[in-house]
Amino acid sequence: MMDTGMSIDTGFNSERMQEMEALYSDALLKDVVPFWLRFSLDHKHGGYLTCLDREGDVYGTDKAMWLQCREAWMFSRLYNALEKRPEWLEAAHLGVEFISRHGFDADGRMFFLLTQEGEPLRKRRYLFTECFGIIAFAEYARASGREEYLHRAKELYRLVVDLYRKPDALEPKVFPETRLMKSLAAPMMLLATTQELRAFDTDPLYGIIAGETSREIIRDFLKPDEKAMLETVGPNGERLDIPEGRCVNPGHAVETAWFLMREGMFQGDEMMVETACRGLSWSLELGWDDDHGGLLAFVDIEGKPPERLEWDMKLWWPHTEALYASLLAYHSTHERRFLAWFESIHSYAFARFPDEEYGEWFGYLHRDGTTANELKGSTWKGMFHIPRAMLNIMLLLREIMDREDDDTIKEG
């Protein structure tokens, strides 16, 4: 057994919190954001170039719409949450303009992949691109003050909700006459999208959808008997005895856990927060690799062979999601085990993912922690999970420290 980086829980004193806040703030503002600002803006055609090699050079020019929307969201979010830097707003504008001009099909749905110039290459059956479009438009509307983008976000949201409620509307991958399945990603994405939009707008629909999706996740995907948040279940949460039905995607599961925690806090529903923290614990325990440290990409809950080739790789995004989720769980429950998880994942991730030489993070490690691919961006890895987690962690640490200062003042 190797040193997996599991740290002994030494508590989280204010010195450690300050140190962490500085570390995440520096990583975000001196490393990650500058990398994308410098290399990804496509000033010629608009939007972002995300297929970047280790040094930031472009190796592919196609524009994946998930990443166009996510990067536009991220720059807008930095502007709204952290500081009114004009270059962040301009960078957000570059993406939102490109998305508006080229991202939509005649039926109101969005394309999945465009050329550098904006010609459509692919459209897919899933609604995820639209979800990322909604959050990009809404966050940019706040940053720019351009109300019309909030309207576009709301329009698109209604389209997504309509299609979500009519499962027959989009052709499923597997014939529904033979097998009905549903995946965690769908309610998870709709919940997160609703939470984002709700921050800028009031509409009774948000409460209804956030309620429906969070209840659906808890009722159908969280399995106390198996101590697992499953990736795929039957239409009423039935366990499916197929490889997909035994599969846990620890990254998705911990991401869902923090969306649920956030929902519980918003609704003042302590039970939901507790349930979410339980789901987080299960997912970290299932996903953690006792031999080499880090979170596995896929796990079969019965220990049978996972069919995904990359099942034992260590990807960047499950780690960023686990970092924020465990810190939020610690903040919500004051349970030290979540702090221990935060520290373990932090040491694992910061020892392996950041590229000390050219900046930003590697995305793909072998099981043993060695780098499997040096790319910084692709049609899947872009400016999203890493800066979002860093920003969320910074803001949460500041909140905790502020409250402790207040407590000290009150006690003093």
Residue 375 touches its own copies, criterion: CB under 8 A: yes
Pick 52 or 277: Cβ nearer its own copies: 52
Residue 249 touches its own copies, criterion: CB under 8 A: no
d(C-alpha 260, C-alpha 274), whole Å: 10
Diameter of the chain measured on Cα atoms = 68
Pick 58 or 400: Cβ nearer its own copies: 58
Residue 54 touches its own copies, criterion: CB under 8 A: yes
How far apart are CB 243 and its own copies at their closest, in Å? Answer: 5
Q: Residue 174 has which token pair?
A: 């597997």
Residue 174 touches its own copies, criterion: CB under 8 A: yes
How far apart are CB 234 and its own copies at their closest, in Å? Answer: 14
How far apart are CB 96 and its own copies at their closest, in Å? Answer: 22
Q: Looking at 208, 242, 271, 351, which residue binds its own copies (CB under 8 A)?
A: 242
Residue 179 touches its own copies, criterion: CB under 8 A: yes
Residue 101 touches its own copies, criterion: CB under 8 A: no
CB 136 within 8 A of CB 73: yes
Q: Other C-beta atoms within 10 Å of 350: how many?
A: 16
How far apart are CB 281 and its own copies at their closest, in Å? Answer: 26
d(C-alpha 56, C-alpha 41), whole Å: 11
> CB under 8 A: which stretch of 79-87, 221-229, 306-314, 325-333 binds its own copies?
306-314
Q: Looking at 168, 175, 225, 356, which residue binds its own copies (CB under 8 A)?
A: 175
Q: Looking at 373, 396, 398, 401, which residue binds its own copies (CB under 8 A)?
A: 373
Site string for its own copies, 102-131 (x = CB under 8 A): -----------x-x---xxxx---------
> CB under 8 A: which stretch of 47-55, 68-76, 316-324, 339-347 binds its own copies?
47-55
Q: Looking at 306, 318, 359, 369, which residue binds its own copies (CB under 8 A)?
A: 306
For its own copies (CB under 8 A), the number of binding residues is: 41
> CB under 8 A: which stretch of 141-149, 209-217, 248-256, 370-378 binds its own copies?
370-378
How far apart are CB 18 and its own copies at their closest, in Å? Answer: 37
Pick 307 or 406: Cβ nearer its own copies: 307
Give the interface with its own copies as residue ranges (CB under 8 A). Answer: 51, 53-54, 59-62, 113, 115, 119-122, 173-175, 177-179, 242-243, 300, 304-307, 309-313, 364, 366-368, 372-375, 378-379
